[in-house]
Structure 1
């Protein structure tokens, strides 16, 4: 087992990887105490049961380890970079190196296309495809502490060594069924910078509230903007500034001074003074003073949809039938909200685009037009001409 701590060692491995058809990659990181993920370890393995597998230790390597050779490998289009559930890994590399690994293969997405269910876990694929079991004793370890134990190293390497077998199986299955392009279409979202960029001015859109008052939402917007900027600037979790329930309380009570802040039931003690308190008061004031034309509004477009509930139920039955027929996770084909939009006459949904239209969308539209009906026989649902 090799642990890489220098740029020269990393460059040697990455140069070797560039001569291979693929390389499997995983990371270990911490995010409990920071806004941005702290990269603690990178694992990589080359093809073949005895293919070289390494750990890259950016903590032990310190300033003597540059990840530039890894980023060069990520840009090398002759080698497929294989991950499982890649989103968080990709966010780390995008934030730290402004790079995406291409070509990319995500075994979780591929497994959903190949009939292994929704959001299938790595452990499940190891058991079903690699016919192996994982030692889970190091799952919740602190990956920032050094030195790493042998058990930690073995656990980390298992995340990429078994991944080789899983990737080769899924790649063959996709080629056999002609669905490789389906996975590539899904991975386009993971390779889009917008997926990982959090803009403070848009942070309020993630705060769940049933209130539609423009003035209330303006205060929510300013409080969420301040929280995001403060958390990003100091690299701390946004919950350390104040949580969503406290944010909504502040938007409702509209504190004007420190005395008002002191009456908050949900605000953390450290948020009642200093920079955070000043930021809260300024944000509430900005929200109260926002011009009427600048008040945010929640789109109620879907709430106003005239959904044909009977048709929506039929579409759900059709989706289940088509999902089982194609061996693709239903959640990957269409969401419940998509079905409601289709049942209300809407057509601008993902379920009617690309490969989803082929699997489900065409029959869904025909069902809406009354051109087909659904028939049940035993445990199967069939689409028949109407």
Structure 2
């Protein structure tokens, strides 16, 4: 039987035992079916000698683990860590450094952009990872021995991958990987304010200024409501549904209910609020509505700007010897375009700087990026 760490004293003792370790394999188990934030069900830790399965439902003092994760002399190794980072943030762990993501390491080595954990283990060790407990309810108690064994194996298999990946990576790739780990952590601290969340809606650039005003109100309300209720955004309204509401701008509950593919249960619950938000946006003066684009005298067009930036990224990737998919994903490209053209100069000063212009990406991309004349970088 694999024991669980249930109390603060046991967690503190474990953290003290591993304080001098140089590598810690880390994984989490969580539930995220209907909530905005992941619900931690288990934390797995292994430093090559000491295994710990930590029960986050009973621990109240996370400071010892916070200190371990912030220890710059101990590499924290995770696989595909995006959601793990979010899960750790729910218990106050917001600094994980140095962070070594084995999936990103495989990407840098040219083994694929999203290599799964089981595939990576099999490639390096020829061992097969049991994934039979993937659908376990990790918030249920007690956890069965087979569930604890399954969870423990994630870090027991993860730990020995480090040396192989380190040997395969050259010095430049190793440095880049750790820098990207820092960027992943910083990303979680730099959220787009609710009033600008509409910029993230697919194809929102196609809407008129008035339609954007409606979309802005709806998206902001959804974000606030989802945060208040801890609900997944799509369970309130999906992006495509908000986009359709912004285009149609219904003025009555009847017309609202007649829009195809709208969730009737949510319309019954929120219909009155949706109509109020739409009417509020309709009543705004024109200069209070979002513009589609700013500095249009220098704007060559949305698709043309996207094509120009995409070409710049590909050229930088080729000449710098970095995978284009590692250097940039679509979210980052859209973030740059929005920051350059879809907000005013005053608004831009209040928003997070795009990832293209921060950290290692800035050094790689800035000589290639088309930077608009109205932006000082």
TM-score normalized by structure 1?
0.76
The match for 1:34 is 35
Distance 1:115 1:177, change over 3 A: farther
Distance 1:329 1:165, change over 3 A: farther
Of 52, 55, 58 in structure 1, the residue corresponding to residue 53 of structure 2 is 55
Distance 1:14 1:302, change over 3 A: farther
Alpha-carbon distance in structure 1 between the residues aligned to 2:160 and 2:289: 54
Alpha-carbon distance in structure 1 between the residues aligned to 2:313 and 2:70: 42
The match for 2:4 is 3
Alpha-carbon distance in structure 2 between the residues aligned to 1:74 and 1:290: 48
The alignment of Structure 1 onto Structure 2 pairs a total of residues equal to: 341
Q: Note the alpha carbon deviations across 1:160-210, whole angstroms, 9 max, x for none.
A: 111111122222333x54432211222232121555635321221222136
Unmatched 5+ residue regions in structure 1? 342-347, 366-386
Unmatched 5+ residue regions in structure 2? 337-353, 370-377
Distance 1:8 1:264, change over 3 A: same
Alpha-carbon distance in structure 1 between the residues aligned to 2:356 and 2:72: 28
Deviation, structure 1 residue 90: 1.0
Structure 1 SS opposite 2:127: coil
Tell me, yes or no, if the aligned pair for 1:74 and 1:100 is still in contact at 8 Å. Answer: yes
Distance 1:244 1:135, change over 3 A: same
Matches within 5 A, 1:1-386: 1-47=2-48, 51-59=49-57, 61=58, 65-97=60-92, 99-174=94-169, 176-194=170-188, 197=191, 199-209=193-203, 211-274=206-269, 276-299=270-293, 301=299, 303=301, 329-333=323-327, 350=356, 354=360
Alpha-carbon distance in structure 2 between the residues aligned to 1:305 and 1:158: 47
Alpha-carbon distance in structure 2 between the residues aligned to 1:291 and 1:110: 51
Alpha-carbon distance in structure 1 between the residues aligned to 2:228 and 2:329: 36
Tell me, yes or no, if the aligned pair for 2:69 and 2:95 is still in contact at 8 Å. Answer: yes
Distance 1:201 1:135, change over 3 A: same
Alpha-carbon distance in structure 2 between the residues aligned to 1:182 and 1:355: 10
TM-score normalized by structure 2?
0.78
Deviation, structure 1 residue 298: 4.0
Deviation, structure 1 residue 125: 1.5
Tell me, yes or no, if the aligned pair for 2:97 and 2:181 is still in contact at 8 Å. Answer: no
The match for 1:371 is none
Alpha-carbon distance in structure 2 between the residues aligned to 1:260 and 1:78: 61
